[in-house]
Structure 1
Amino acid sequence: MYTDILYPTDGSTGSNAAAEHVRLLASMFDATVHVLCVVDTRHVGIGMSGAFLDEGTAGMSGSATDTEGGTVGERDDADERQAELREHGESVVKEASAAFGDIETTTAVMAGNPHTSILEYADDHDIDLIVMGTHGRTGVDRYLLGSVTEKVIRMSDAPVMTVRAGVED
């Protein structure tokens, strides 16, 4: 039924919530897991959901303290920021892929609009199922930040399974 399962992740709690479901489904169907991280280059300095930054300090302005004590929004070199995002994306997919053990995985890092890139990847790789975590944002946060998962659900040709962060199996 499922031979190729797409697991978009940014390393956040929301996306990690889906990993066990992906592992179970891939084991049941002997499927290949496609681990994808999309770095959002529309607002250089944050990843798909802001997971590149400390989740407590990420903000709409993109001005947050990075791990070296500087302010992300103050950096002058956009190429350097994009390289850092890409490097972070590579570490996210490497870590996520390793967690699947002996399940066949393939990894990719894309740059761009997250929901568009996820849908593009799914179409290009004939994905049978997309399994995504949700952050559980509500109200103004959801309205202002948008929901990558919601957009993928509405626009995907493939079925989409969602797992809310903090939900026990």
Structure 2
Amino acid sequence: MNYDRILVPTDGSEAIVDVLEHALDMADRHDATVEALYVVDERQYHALPADRRAEAEETLERKGERAIEEVQMRAEELGVEATGSVREGIPSETIVKHTRGSSNDVVVIGTRGSGDHDRHVKLGSVTRRVVENARVPVFVVHIGDPSA
């Protein structure tokens, strides 16, 4: 299997480092482009009072832009081409919709297990929904301390 475009959803957290390690290695081996995607979760600001929504939305969009820039900088350090975009919506739905409307060949996404049972049985809700609904392969990276 050859991958030309690899989608890497990011939430801007430090945990993306683990996911990026796999995605960038995969991109390097396949001479692929990485596309970072940050989804501003509209539920985080729609519930706010009207006078605070715009400011909260702007703050989240700036966080997303920084997250995309971080992915692009790390990719550039390894000589991997990277693009990125910030979208608004519900993260899992937006990621799945993006896989259907793009030329990405694979999604590389992270998940955290909160306990021994979760680590072996259950994925995070966003990751689980992407795995169940994406029309391309999904490579899941366990992030964080595996003994936690």
**Quick check: TM above 0.5?**
yes
Contact 1:14 1:134 in 2 (8 A): no
Distance 1:147 1:14, change over 3 A: farther
Give the secondary structure class of the aligned counterpart of 1:6: strand
**Residues 74-123 of structure 1: per-residue CA shift (max 9 Å, x gap):** 89420111011101100110011111122111110001100111111111
> In proportion to residue count, which structure has more helix?
2
Alignment match, 1:148: 126
1:14 deviation in Å? 3.6
Give yes or no for the alignment of 1:98 onto 2:73. yes
**Cα root mean square deviation, aligned:** 2.4
Secondary structure of 2:99's counterpart equals helix
Partner residue in 1 for 2:97: 120
Given candidates 72, 80, 86, the residue that maps to 2:55 is 80
The 8 Å contact of residues 12 and 63 in structure 2, kept in 1 or not, is answered as: no
- 1:156 and 1:150 mapped to 2: Cα distance? 10
- Name whichever of 11-20 and 94-103 sits farther off: 11-20
Unpaired runs of at least 5, structure 2: 119-123
Instruction: Tell me the SS of whatever aligns to 2:129.
Output: helix
Aligned to 1:165: 143
Q: Give SS of 2:75's match.
A: coil
CA distance in 2 between partners of 1:74 and 1:126 (Å): 38
Task: Supply the distance in 2 between the matched residues of 1:13 and 1:122 (Cα, whole angstroms).
Answer: 24
Partner of 2:23: 22
Q: TM-score, normalized by length of structure 2?
A: 0.83
Q: Structure 1 length as normaliser, TM-score?
A: 0.73
SS at match of 1:19: helix
Q: Identity over the aligned pairs, expressed in percent?
A: 34
Q: Which runs of 5+ in 1 are unaligned?
A: 46-61, 63-72, 141-145
Distance 1:74 1:135 in 2: 32
Q: Helix, strand or coil: the match of 1:20?
A: helix
Cα shift at 1:136: 1.9
SS at match of 1:18: helix
